[in-house]
Chains A and B, each alone.
Chain A
Amino acid sequence: MTAPVIEATDITKTLGAGASQVRALNGVSLALTGGELTLLMGPSGSGKTTLLSILGCMLTPTSGEVRILGRSIAGAPPGQLAELRRDHIGFIFQNYHLLPTLSALDNVRLALDVRGEPAGTALAKAKDVLATVGLSHKINAFPRQLSGGEQQRVAIARAIVGDASAILADEPTGALDSENGHAVMLLLSRIARDTNRGVLVVTHDPRALPFADRIIHMEDGRILNEEYSTTINGKRDWFDTATSFRRPKVTAGDEADWQPAHEAMSYAPAAK
């Protein structure tokens, strides 16, 4: 088994101050492994975005430890966290967050430009990646000239162009219709086939379920339980050993917990 690309242990996070203080995360442990697409699900306010921000080195936990490729980020200053994000993590957001003044090509190239990669190779790589997300014909279009699905594919291209070890997506299909949502999930599951790359997707969208290798359910700042999609084929034998993370609330073999979710699948999973 490959070592986790991101490993979080016993994370707590308190947000806000004074009377409005919220404990957004309360002892969360989780490992994201290469070659795996994990869904993070849970009710609104359960702490999914907060957890994603911490795993992505955008927020520092109140307590607990985060390791990126085995290295602890404890005490790293903002500049170093930015470097970690730049070199190891690709982000995908519900609202795409493309730079409106730049073309699709430049938006993708930007991820390499901030690393100081020479313009020539950066452009070539950006074109390649835009081709893999099926946007070769739109490289000179500006975000306002692209559909939501196309914009999200540009954002995916930007996230993967730098060979990030972890792709973290917060509701990537949230603003998309089912066709575009499907295309985006398909892309993400393909990206997760690379064993050096783990993909974590926060979603409310049940249509994303078939693409998942693993589903983590959160509630009230805690991980409630986890499921493995391999159960579709009736294989549950690696349920306990597949990962190195701790699952505080799920006991091995707790079939009733995860079985129903997969019966609700609306479309076929991507071939793996």
Chain B
Amino acid sequence: MDDRITLRLARYRPEEEAEPTFEEYEVPCRKDWVVLDGLNYIKDQLDGTLSFRWSCRMGICGSCGMTVNGEPKLTCETFLTDYAPGPVRIEPLQNFPVIRDLIVEMTDFMQKLTTIKPWIVRDEERPLAEGEYRQTPDEMSEYMQYSMCINCMLCYAACPVYSLDPKFIGPAAIALAQRYNLDSRDEGSGERLDILSQHEGIWACTFVGECTEVCPKDVDPAGAIQRYKLDAALTSLKSFLLPWGAR
């Protein structure tokens, strides 16, 4: 007989109820089961109406972020046994509007993503015939860490600034802007600095570093923000000293 564990799930069905409620389900607590396995067990065996997102179940697609016992987690790599004997409280990610049950709306992030121009910007594109851009392993390591973001939104759920000011462009978007800024093939950092500096929120970031702490992919968005602030301060200093616009 398997051990069992109780999952206390936030449920919200907007067509039926005005407020989220909690429901409890008992699921097997097996050694190799992650929280997501528990949720699928509920959906398949106990209650087909439960809704949540998932896909790869190997921590790379970024779909399955939820709040587990108060902390933002990828549920496909969070083991049930770590919470034994339970109960485990599972809620949608904080700081986002809830669409239903454990599913949050992230349209806002998708729009922000486009505004920071997350693509290689060049004055002149290199013809294919000239082969690859040379980029040494050292040059790569400048931006590599910031390119590992899976857009899982855990950092937004943990961010105290975003919770107060949803206009704040947020940790992952800034990290991605830095990913391109620091890429030796890119020439768009000026444009991106202008865009980011329009977002007041960034100066409100206090470097508490919650984003970096919860990030499952070690992206270190807090470091990216810090670096951005330095660059931005330098640039505005320069434009102050060289008002004719050298950048």
Say if A and B assemble together. no
